[in-house]
């Protein structure tokens, strides 16, 4: 064994570690005692952690710790507490009428906050995070409503859906005039151009307006009404405005008339509680398009 | 003269004080610790009491700092009904910071950035003028350690007495046990009061004191008092100078900030060397020889709270508390030599004196001027912004999905989330206007317009209100892609106004 300690640096008079690199020796500068003690204490503390908290993975589970702590259980408790806190407020929301909710700033703020989160969880996949919609999925920010845009009508649509299979669901759909052989190809083109003309869009060269009006009157007026103003009872859209769920170009219209349309809105009754559905209705109404 | 020297109670070998550069005697090491000891044992420091100018300054500053800290939470400030009446209050649950006439909201924390810049540069300025003034006089670690030493000295006696007691191998007598118990009790009491004062900054002080006494205060208050009692007691009672030497980054940083003109506590070796005894110095002076004033009495070392020898030159461990100046001055007065053998000085002056020139003190130099300018500049900006701070504010956030909506009649609508902030102590009635697209109409959800196109809303004092606002522009054949919209909110009672801008876009 080499005795390093006889190796005292002549300049400083201090001991060296005995290590030498290219003639340079390292002075021994030990840590203060409390530092070393603290270091050991942290190791002891770590062992305490193993015992108190879940720590070691086992084959199919893990050690649970002395007090059975689990962060998942903590979350469950927190969520339950949150529900309790929200409870009273949601009861107030459930008791108020839809119109009253919009008039009371506190209830409106609550309904909008609740509606926004629930909308994000349930509605955003089809309607978009802000209700902007997409082709086939209505934009909820505009003032065009297939099934009506009053608070009650919006709530009804959310509650029972459209073509959802629910007994009270909105029924009625765009028929497949081409596929079912009701209209022939040239008739479909003509009526498509007629539909474009009623909302002020350009029409194909050589299109016969009189024939288009006749076909429309015979086949479409029943649902879309005289002049194509639509009918919320049937879910038949207004064809004279600037909003088109499936597109306003000729090709899209031909596709719609030939194959029919019938998007499905699920019924939320049973999946969401009544107060939440109310909040949803207020939220959607307050997006800006509500009537 | 020997009597005078020993009367000061000094005699000790040089090596004993070289704690930081410990000389290792190979014979002291046992054979099994091959690589030397794993840790360095602490050399306990027993600072001796001293009197003089700097000690008086330190007492004064200690009284000021502690008094300020302990009593500030009890200072009242009238902010009107319903608002906290505490002058300095950090209201975490309500996210408010109160400082006398100033009330800050969370989004205004940038004021603290300014405060931190001023504090940092003030530290640099202190450092370039007079060295570690912060460390020596103002740092909480120094102030509380000084206080704890004072208590220790009062109960267990001065330096030599305490050293003797610690070394004594006699069995503990009741008197000594009582001394120790009393000392720790007083320490704990001070530490407890320190922690107690801390929590008072976060809640109404008189109420919280009442709750604390009747055990009705929230658990978190007791927990914080406990934690701060422990840290105060450990840091000021036990760790002491080790905090400065091992834990604090400032001694390292300040070495990079200092310059050759900064005045530091300096042993003026031009006056002090060569060291001799009082008697020998007198003899040599009689023979006309050059002798230094230092008589190697070790008083400067005895009073040092970090246990170093200032005569070894500037050292990282030196907190520059100035107590060695007092100690040395007292000795110089006794032996009839000029005072300030140790004083605030620098190497430049030592060299100048050695060359027979007069010392130069240059406080005003580019560095100190620059620091002062930064402090004045940042401070000025802060004061200006605080003085002109608006108590009414509006923030606007444009809807992102959808960005724009086309309505059935072809008109274009954009929706915005508008947040109104009423920072005043009274309720307001706010009118909202939006100036953007020509002939645009505005509507705020849930707000019935009293006047058409000018929605009004009531915002309670000290609160915010979030609104959904729709701006609708009439149909146009070729709308502009993007138009600037200015949202203007006006307190219809007081006329105060604020505005924010966003864009109105076409789909």
Interface A-B: count of C-beta contacts within 8 A: 116
For chain A, the residues whose C-beta falls within 8 A of a C-beta of chain B are: 1, 4-6, 8, 12-15, 17-18, 28-36, 102-103, 105, 108-109, 112, 128-133, 139, 141-144, 238, 241-243, 286-289
- Provide CB contacts within 8 A for B75, sequence distance 6+: B86, B87, B88
Give the tokens for residue B216: 């009705």
Q: Are A289 and B407 a contacting pair at CB < 8 A?
A: yes
CB atoms under 10 Å from CB of A93, counted, come to 21
Nearest CA in chain A to B20: A29
Q: Are A28 and B26 a contacting pair at CB < 8 A?
A: no
Give the pairing type, strands B463-473 and B412-422: antiparallel
Q: Are B408 and A28 a contacting pair at CB < 8 A?
A: no
Residues B165-205: tens digit of each pLDDT = 888 877 778 888 999 999 999 999 999 999 999 999 999 99
Strand (E) or helix (H) holding A56: none
Residues A276-286: tens digit of each pLDDT = 999 999 999 99
Residues B363-415: tens digit of each pLDDT = 999 999 999 999 999 999 999 998 888 899 999 999 998 899 999 888 999 99
Provide φ and ψ at A7, rounded to 5°: -90, 95
What is the model's pLDDT at position B13?
41
The residues in B 33-62 lying below 8 A from A, measured between CB atoms, are 34-42
Cα gap B455→A99, rounded to integer Å? 19
Q: What is the pTM of this model?
A: 0.73
Nearest CA in chain B to A108: B446
What is the model's pLDDT at position B15?
40
Q: Are B246 and A32 a contacting pair at CB < 8 A?
A: yes
What is the model's pLDDT at position A1?
38
Cα gap A195→A244, rounded to integer Å? 11
What is the model's pLDDT at position B450?
58
What is the model's pLDDT at position B18?
42
Q: Are A143 and B38 a contacting pair at CB < 8 A?
A: no
Cα gap A51→A17, rounded to integer Å? 38
Question: Degrees (nearest 5) of the Cα angle A71, A73, A75?
Answer: 70
What is the interface pTM, i.e. ipTM, of the complex? 0.76
End-to-end CA distance of chain A: 95
Question: B50, B48, B3, B11: which is closest to B330 by C-alpha?
Answer: B50
Cα distances (Å, whole numbers) of residue A231 to A135, A158, A237:
20, 19, 7
Nearest to B401 among A15, A132, A144 (CB): A132
Cβ of residue B410 closer than 8 Å to a chain A Cβ: yes
Q: Are A108 and B40 a contacting pair at CB < 8 A?
A: no
Question: A124, A127, A150: which is closest to A139 by C-alpha?
Answer: A127
**Which residue stretches of chain A have pLDDT < 70?**
1-6
Q: Please classify residue B355 by burial: count the beta carbons closer than 10 Å to its beta carbon, then call 0-12 exposed, 13-18 middle and 19+ buried.
A: exposed
Residues of A in contact with B413 (CB under 8 A): 141-142, 288
Which is it for the CA torsion A51, A55, A59, A60, positive or negative? positive
Distance from CA of A76 to the nearest CA of B (A): 23
DSSP string, A241-254: SS--SS-SSHHHHH
What is the model's pLDDT at position B9?
40
Cα gap A203→A200, rounded to integer Å? 9
Residues of A in contact with B399 (CB under 8 A): 130, 141
Cα gap A189→A194, rounded to integer Å? 9
The residues in B 427-456 lying below 8 A from A, measured between CB atoms, are 445-446, 448
Q: What is the pLDDT along chain B (507 residues), one digit of tens a residue?
A: 344 444 444 444 444 344 444 555 555 554 444 555 667 777 889 999 999 999 999 999 999 999 999 999 999 999 887 789 999 999 999 899 999 988 899 888 888 899 999 999 999 999 999 999 999 999 999 999 999 999 999 999 999 999 998 888 777 788 889 999 999 999 999 999 999 999 999 999 999 999 999 999 999 999 999 999 999 999 999 999 999 998 999 999 888 888 899 999 999 999 988 899 999 999 999 998 888 999 999 999 999 999 999 999 989 999 999 999 999 999 999 999 999 999 999 999 999 999 999 999 999 999 999 999 999 999 999 999 988 888 999 999 999 988 999 998 889 999 999 999 999 888 999 999 999 888 888 888 888 655 666 888 899 988 998 889 999 999 887 888 899 999 999 999 888 999 999 999 998
What is the model's pLDDT at position B16?
39
Question: Degrees (nearest 5) of the Cα angle B442, B446, B449?
Answer: 50
Cα gap B401→B110, rounded to integer Å? 31
Best mutation target among B20, B242, B397, B408 (most A Cβ atoms within 10 Å) is B408
Nearest to B406 among A13, A14, A142 (CB): A142
Cβ of residue B401 closer than 8 Å to a chain A Cβ: yes
Q: Are B401 and A129 a contacting pair at CB < 8 A?
A: yes
What is the model's pLDDT at position B448?
67
Give the tokens for residue B262: 């900064």
What is the model's pLDDT at position B224?
95
Q: Are A130 and B24 a contacting pair at CB < 8 A?
A: no
What is the model's pLDDT at position A23?
84
Is residue A93 within 8 A of residue A104, CB to CB? The reply is no
Cβ of residue B15 closer than 8 Å to a chain A Cβ: no
Nearest to B401 among A5, A8, A128 (CB): A128
Angle between helices B53-71 and B323-335 (to 10 degrees): 150
Give the pairing type, strands B88-91 and B412-422: unpaired
């Amino acid at each position: 064994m080499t005795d390093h300690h006889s190796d005292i640096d002549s300049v400083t008079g201090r001991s060296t570690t005995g290590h030498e690199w290219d003639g340079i020796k390292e002075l021994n500068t030990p840590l203060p005692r409390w530092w070393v003690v603290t270091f050991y204490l942290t190791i002891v503390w770590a062992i305490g952690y193993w015992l108190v908290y879940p720590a070691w993975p086992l084959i199919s589970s893990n050690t649970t710790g002395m007090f059975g702590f689990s962060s998942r259980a903590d979350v469950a408790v927190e969520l339950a507490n949150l529900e309790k806190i929200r409870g009273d407020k949601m009861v107030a929301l459930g008791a108020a009428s839809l119109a009253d909710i919009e008039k009371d700033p506190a209830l409106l703020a609550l309904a909008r906050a609740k509606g926004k989160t629930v909308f994000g969880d349930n509605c955003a996949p089809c309607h978009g995070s802000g209700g902007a919609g997409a082709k086939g999925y209505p934009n909820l920010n505009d003032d065009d409503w297939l099934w009506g845009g009053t608070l009650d009508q919006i709530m009804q649509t959310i509650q029972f859906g459209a073509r959802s299979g629910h007994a009270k669901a909105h029924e009625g759909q765009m028929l497949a005039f081409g596929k079912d052989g009701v209209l022939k190809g040239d008739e479909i083109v003509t009526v498509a151009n007629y539909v474009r003309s009623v909302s002020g869009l350009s029409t194909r060269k050589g299109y016969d307006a009189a024939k288009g009006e006749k076909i429309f009157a015979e086949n479409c007026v029943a649902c879309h009404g005289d002049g194509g103003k639509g009918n919320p009872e049937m879910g038949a859209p207004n064809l004279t405005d600037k909003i088109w769920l499936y597109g306003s170009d000729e090709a899209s219209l031909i596709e719609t008339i030939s194959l029919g349309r019938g998007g499905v809105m699920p019924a939320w009754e049973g999946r969401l509680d009544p107060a939440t559905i109310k909040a949803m209705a207020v939220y959607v109404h307050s997006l800006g398009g509500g009537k | 003269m020997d009597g005078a020297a020993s009367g000061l109670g000094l005699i000790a070998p040089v090596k004993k004080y070289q704690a930081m550069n410990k000389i290792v005697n190979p014979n002291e090491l046992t054979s099994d610790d091959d690589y030397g000891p794993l840790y360095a044992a602490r050399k306990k420091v027993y600072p001796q009491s001293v009197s003089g100018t700097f000690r008086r300054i330190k007492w004064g500053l200690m009284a000021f700092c502690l008094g300020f800290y302990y009593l500030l939470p009890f200072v009242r400030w009238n902010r009107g009904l319903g608002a906290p009446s505490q002058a300095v209050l950090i209201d975490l649950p309500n996210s408010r910071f109160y400082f006398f006439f100033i009330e800050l909201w969370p989004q205004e924390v940038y004021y603290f950035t300014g405060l931190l810049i001023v504090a940092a540069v003030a530290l640099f300025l202190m450092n370039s003028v007079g060295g570690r003034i912060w460390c020596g006089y103002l740092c909480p670690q120094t102030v509380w350690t000084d206080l704890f030493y004072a208590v220790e000295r009062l109960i267990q006696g001065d330096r030599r007495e305490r050293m003797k007691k610690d070394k004594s191998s006699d069995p503990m007598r009741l008197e000594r046990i009582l001394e120790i118990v009393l000392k720790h009790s007083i320490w704990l009491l001070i530490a407890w009061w320190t922690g107690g004062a801390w929590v008072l900054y976060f809640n109404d002080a008189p109420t919280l004191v009442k709750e604390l006494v009747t055990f009705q205060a929230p658990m978190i208050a007791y927990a914080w008092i406990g934690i701060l009692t422990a840290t105060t007691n450990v840091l000021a009672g036990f760790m002491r100078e080790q905090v400065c030497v091992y834990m604090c980054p400032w001694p390292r940083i300040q070495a990079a900030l200092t310059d050759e003109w900064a005045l530091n506590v300096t042993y003026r070796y031009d006056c002090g060397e060569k060291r001799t005894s009082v008697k020998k110095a007198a003899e040599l002076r009689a023979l006309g020889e050059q002798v230094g004033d230092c008589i190697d009495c070790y008083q400067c070392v005895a009073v040092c709270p970090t246990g170093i020898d200032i005569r070894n030159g500037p050292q990282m461990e030196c907190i520059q508390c100035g107590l060695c100046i007092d100690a040395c001055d007292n000795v110089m007065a006794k032996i009839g030599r000029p005072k300030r053998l140790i004083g605030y000085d620098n190497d430049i002056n030592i060299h100048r004196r050695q060359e027979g020139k007069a010392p130069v003190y240059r406080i005003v130099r580019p560095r100190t001027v620059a620091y002062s300018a930064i402090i004045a500049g940042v401070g000025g900006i802060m004061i200006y912004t605080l003085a002109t701070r608006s108590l009414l504010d509006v923030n606007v956030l444009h809807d992102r999905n959808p960005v724009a909506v086309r309505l059935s009649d072809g008109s274009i609508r954009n929706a915005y989330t508008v947040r109104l902030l009423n920072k005043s102590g009274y309720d307001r009635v706010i009118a909202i206007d939006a100036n953007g697209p020509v002939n645009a109409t505005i509507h705020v959800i849930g707000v019935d317009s009293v006047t058409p196109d000018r929605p009004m809303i009531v915002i309670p004092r000290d609160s915010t209100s979030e609104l959904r606002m729709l701006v609708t522009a009439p149909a146009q054949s070729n709308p502009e892609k993007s138009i600037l919209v200015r949202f203007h909110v006006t307190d219809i009672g007081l006329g105060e106004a604020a505005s924010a801008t966003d864009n109105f876009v076409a789909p």
